[in-house]
Amino acid sequence: LDGWQPTHLCWFASPPRSGGVAGLFSDRLHQQLSSVMVDAFERQVADLSAPPLRGVLWPSSELIDRPGPGNDELVAVLAAGEASCRRLAGSRPELSVHVPRWPRLATDQTASLLPVEYADTASVMLAALRALPN
């Protein structure tokens, strides 16, 4: 980081989810998602362990509450990420760790030809950012 010390970390990791097969848990896909969404996050937070880091945003998803077919690997990684954030919050009480479960948002990865209801992306993101300390 060449001396740069951020006050906030917002982890918007969304690696491609290709390679999974509905009904079959793919260890390879699980590891691919976990390496970006959890492992890299933990390494980054460790690199920023000294103050002035005050706030962390790690958005999860409502998908964890109602998984659909073909999402087993992602749901497992979301649960692991939330657990990682709980451990972080417990070990660093001075750090505000915000882990909202976002509704479905319109992104390149959620684009569909079928009619799908999306939450307002800007409103959801703004609310999450406002929940972080100044």
> What pLDDT is stored for residue 103 in this prediction?
92
Q: Would you mind telling me the total number of residues written for the chain in this entry?
A: 134
Low-confidence ranges of the chain (pLDDT < 50): none
CB neighbour list of residue 63: distance below 8 Å, 6 or more residues apart: 71, 74, 75, 78, 104
* Spatial CA neighbour of 51 closest among 108, 17, 93: 93
Structure-token match 């750090």, residue found: 95
pLDDT score, position 111: 67
pLDDT tens per residue, range 17-50: 776 677 789 999 999 999 999 999 999 999 887 6
Sign of CA dihedral 1, 128, 93, 42: negative
Q: What pLDDT is recorded for position 122?
A: 92
Quote the CA–CA distance of 53 and 46 in Å, as a whole number. Answer: 11
- Closest among 21, 125, 36 to 78, alpha carbons compared: 36
